[in-house]
Structure 1
Amino acid sequence: MIENVSRVDEFLYHYTTVDKALNYILKTRMLRFGVYTNTNDPKETKTWQFDLGTNENRDLGAYKMSETSSWLSTRLKACARLLCLSSDRAPLTGNHINDIFIRGFSKPRMWAQYADRHTGVCMVFDRARLDAAISMQVAGANRVLAGPVEYIDRSILRDMASDWQFMINIDALEDLGKERYADLHLQTSYKRLFFEKMTDWRDECEWRWVAFASSNQDLYVAYGDALIGVMFGEETSEKSIQDIMDMTESWGLRYMGLRWKNCSPWYDYGLRYLPGIKNSPWGQTVKRV
């Protein structure tokens, strides 16, 4: 997962705290789809505002814009569940020395924000295997959409010709009814609504799955062999490293650490905090004595 990696679509990365890794993700061997409106992006947490429009001179005065807008926003978001991971940034050359700055596990702000100020871990997943697990376990009973997030800054001044995703077509609403219209709006507008964020987020290089659940219950996916490695942060304690290795010793994972020298990250090929591990280099599968 470190050397000779040239495909940006091969791995995905999940930053988290040691507590969440040990007590939830590794203990249960599952990932949870979070509630869409519980993210840290106002675009996703706040109620969307839709305008009303007609091409057939229907009576827009028969509708209260705020109520109709709130209905569609709630209908689209209510059962939306989200699984977000980071990806590598193109182009990868396969040279691990130069590529370290664009690898998905080497993002200082992500370590600080999501992995408890570099004391947590970054879990490395095989994207194809994780996607297959989600397709098998989640997509059967729920509509699931997947893809990279696109980063675009949009003006508050709308261009009706290009911002139609935030327009409710009253003609179609009256012809189809609320439920069928909401499904059609999702089908035609999901990329703009669920897979777009401001450019300030772009360095997260996010890949996400959005599941539109058939109920309000939590969604989980058993990731199985999709987890292929764990990265430890600059400040991850020796005890935390040992605890995670103890829990996953039979899983065939690869382990690596990141260390900073001045302003540059580098791979921790040393074994200075692993007294119970054989003298195998970091980046290789290690076994207990």
Structure 2
Amino acid sequence: MNSNIPDVFKDQDTIYHYTALNTAIEHILFEKQLRFSPRVHSNDPIEFLKSIGGKGGAYRDIEQMQEIEIRTAVDADTVSLELKRKFEQAKQLCFCQNESVKNQGQTNFDEEYYGFLKPRMWDQYGDRYNGVCLSFSKSKLLEIHKDLSQEIEYLPYRRLYKDASIRLNELDELGYQQYSELAFEKMVRDLSKKHIDYSGECEFRLYSFSEEQYEYLDISNAINGIIVPRRNLSKFAEQQLTQFSKNMNIQMLYLNWRSDGISVTTLEEDERVYKIVMKNLETLKINS
């Protein structure tokens, strides 16, 4: 049904970002940048690292515990404060990926393969099917954003536990610098855990821990597509998106939900059909 989908959307390098129509037109496409969202704005309560602090460890006996606690007191407090500060500064950009495939040589896939054809994503993040999905080259985004990135790990409830305590025996053994780096890496992994019910999102994230209130990512050379539902699309919005597509030389797809699933039409196909219809109407007018 959708064998006409351009190859760029089949590529494992292509990732997708769902957003509201106005946000896409007025900010992302016009300003050619994406804004990182503060971590604290996440709606998923399980995503939050509940506490950063606490101290623990494995000791031979009480005497060893007391000795290690004394030696690591200052470093432990410093690590704890640094992690707390980074957590509060955490910002993220979320993308949806195509499903992974064993046969990388395939050229045609089921609709469920594509990251831009996920109903729950359109419902939750695409303004209830009235928004826009923008596609990007993952590798080009990573060339621009050289900070942390992470694929989301989907886990059942019993494995979502996040231990944020400072392990004093490890801190004592590794030293402040190495332990603080490993603790930060662990915090990022914990930030990237979600319940398995979200696994269909195939999420990929970019992280920023800058001290600035807002962080932006230039997408000029990374964006490669615009996907928009026909549903409730105004003529003005369609003209704006079409203009962006042509000016930026990127693909544009129209989505139409139907009783038997979904159809995908490229901008070129849509314009070709429109010209044929108008020509036929003109012919009928002349002959009438």
TM-score by shorter chain over 0.5: yes
Q: Among 13, 18, 26, which residue is 2:16 paired with?
A: 13
Report the secondary structure of 1:124's partner residue: strand
Q: Runs of 5+ in structure 2 lacking a partner? A: 277-288
1:199 aligns with 2:199: no
Query: TM-score when scaled to structure 2?
Result: 0.75
Aligned to 1:147: 150
**Partner residue of 2:100 out of 75, 90, 93:** 90
Which amino acid is 2:255 matched to? L
Residue in structure 2 matched with residue 184 of structure 1 by the alignment: 182
- The percentage of counterpart residues that share the same residue type is 25
Cα distance 1:45–1:195, how it changes in 2: closer, same or farther (>3 A)?
closer
One-letter code aligned to 1:105: F
Q: Does 1:170 align with 2:171?
A: no
- RMSD of equivalent CA atoms: 3.6
C-alpha deviations, 1:70-99, integer Å up to 9, x for none? 857623412222111000002266444x42
Alignment partners' CA distance in 2, 1:37 and 1:194: 11
Uncovered stretches (5+) of structure 1, i.e. residues with no partner: 136-143, 280-289
Letter in 2 for 1:233: P
Cα distance in 2, alignment partners of residues 13 and 111 from structure 1: 11
| Paired residues for 1:61-80 under 5 Å | 71=81, 74-80=84-90
The aligned residue for residue 281 of structure 2 is none
Q: Distance in 2 between matches of 1:270 and 1:261?
A: 19
Structure-2 residue corresponding to 1:225: 221
More helix by share: 2
Conserved? CA contact 2:132–2:227, under 8 Å: yes
Q: CA separation of 1:252/1:32 partners in 2, compared to 1, >3 Å: closer, same or farther?
A: same
In 2, are the aligned partners of 1:4 and 1:94 still within 8 Å (CA)?
Answer: no
SS, match of residue 235 in structure 1: coil
Q: Return the alpha-carbon distance in structure 2 between the equivalents of residues 157 and 267 of structure 1.
A: 37
Query: Any residues of structure 2 matched to 1:273-284 within 5 Å, and which?
Result: none
Structure 1 contact 242–274 (Cα < 8 Å) conserved: no
Deviations 1:214-254 (A, max 9, x none): x1331111111211110012424132121222244311011
8 Å CA contact 1:134, 1:221 repeated in 2: yes
Q: Which residue of 2 aligns with 1:28?
A: 31
Decide whether the 8 Å contact of 1:8 with 1:90 is kept in 2.
no
Answer whether contact 1:75 1:182 (CA < 8 A) is retained.
no
Q: Residue 58 of structure 1 is aligned with which of 54, 65, 68?
A: 65
Indicate if the aligned counterparts of 2:121 and 2:201 stay in contact, CA closer than 8 A. Answer: yes
Calculate the TM-score normalised by the size of structure 1: 0.75
Contact residue 81 and residue 212 of structure 1 kept, 8 A: yes
Say if 1:47 and 1:73, in contact at 8 Å, map to a contact too. Answer: no
Whole-Å separation in 1 of the counterparts to 2:166 and 2:254 = 50
Residues of 2 paired with 1:101 and 1:157: CA distance? 27
Determine if contact 1:47/1:74 at 8 Å carries over to the other structure: no
Deviations 1:241-282 (A, max 9, x none): 21222244311011111112215122135889869x877xxx
Aligned partner of 1:118 in structure 2 is 129
Q: Which structure would you say has the larger Rg?
A: 2
Deviation for aligned residue 1:113: 1.1
1:38–1:45 Cα contact (<8 Å) kept = no
2 CA distance for matches of 1:270 and 1:154? 43
Q: CA deviation at 1:107?
A: 0.5
Post-superposition shift, 1:7? 6.3
CA shift, 1:211, in A, is 2.0
> Take 2:179 and 2:238, find their aligned partners in 1: how far apart are those partners?
51
**8 Å contact from structure 1 (residues 48, 70) kept in 2:** no
Q: What secondary structure, in the 3-state scheme, does the structure 2 residue paired with 1:90 have?
A: coil
- The CA deviation at 1:199 is 0.3
Determine helix, strand or coil for the equivalent of 1:225.
Answer: coil
Secondary structure of 1:249's counterpart equals: helix
Q: 1:3 to 1:274 in 2, by over 3 A?
A: closer
Distance of aligned partners of 1:69 and 1:270 in 2 relative to their CA distance in 1, 3 Å threshold: closer
The structure-2 alpha-carbon separation of the partners of 1:236 and 1:222, relative to structure 1 and needing over 3 Å to count, comes to: farther
User: How far off its partner does 1:147 sit?
Assistant: 2.7
Alignment of 1:126-137 (within 5 A): 126-135=137-146
